[in-house]
């Protein structure tokens, strides 16, 4: 529960490398996410070349923190594994959340930047990563050692919890 309550989006990173083993362990955790009909249609691209990280903000406007960050993970949907058509956004969202929690548990900072369904962002990753037609970029997570530790906040809102029927505004 502590990891769930303390994880925050981190957008500023120290200028020190992240061991690939930590990223691979987090990707492994992402693959343990649930998926519709257990289709596991995900593919992961670890991006650690500085010139590629610096290029990402040119086509993904809310990923400016990629410039200078040590590493990122692009999660994609492979249509060849699609056995539950239309459910990949939920599946890959769960995988992205597992990735974020695993990174946080390792002391790393990360931020989820949206890719799908924004055409210009998707096209940028397709081109940059030479993705085949059947592979759809979904999310990009930027990773590094946090420059500062973000404060945990209480996000629980009891008024948004309903039992059995809608009660409220």
**C-beta separation of 139 from 69 below 8 A:** no
**C-beta separation of 159 from 152 below 8 A:** no
Q: How many CA atoms lie within 13 A of 112 on its CB side?
A: 19
Domains parsed from the chain with CATH numbers: 2-160 (3.40.109.10)
Q: What is the pLDDT of residue 14?
A: 97
Q: How far is CA 164 from CA 110, 158, 160, 167, in A?
A: 36, 15, 13, 9
Mean residue pLDDT of the chain comes to 96
Q: How many CA atoms lie within 13 A of 105 on its CB side?
A: 17
Asked if the model's pLDDT at residue 168 lies above 90, the reply is no
* Average confidence (pLDDT) over 16-26: 98
| pTM confidence score | 0.96
């Amino acid at each position: 529960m502590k990891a769930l309550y303390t994880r925050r989006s981190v957008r500023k990173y120290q200028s020190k490398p992240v061991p690939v083993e930590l990223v691979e362990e987090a990707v492994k955790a992402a693959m343990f996410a649930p998926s519709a009909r257990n289709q596991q249609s995900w593919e992961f691209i670890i991006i650690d070349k500085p010139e590629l990280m610096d290029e990402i903000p040119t086509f993904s406007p809310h990923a400016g923190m990629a410039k200078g960050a040590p590493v990122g993970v692009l999660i994609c949907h492979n249509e060849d594994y699609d056995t539950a058509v239309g459910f990949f956004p939920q599946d890959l969202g769960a995988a992205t959340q597992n990735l974020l929690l695993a990174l946080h548990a390792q002391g790393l900072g990360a931020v989820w930047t949206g890719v799908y369904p924004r055409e210009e962002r998707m096209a940028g990753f397709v081109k940059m990563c030479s993705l085949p037609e059947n592979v759809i970029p979904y999310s990009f997570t930027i990773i590094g050692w946090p420059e500062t530790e973000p404060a945990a906040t209480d996000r629980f809102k009891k008024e948004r919890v309903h039992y059995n029927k809608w009660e409220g505004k």
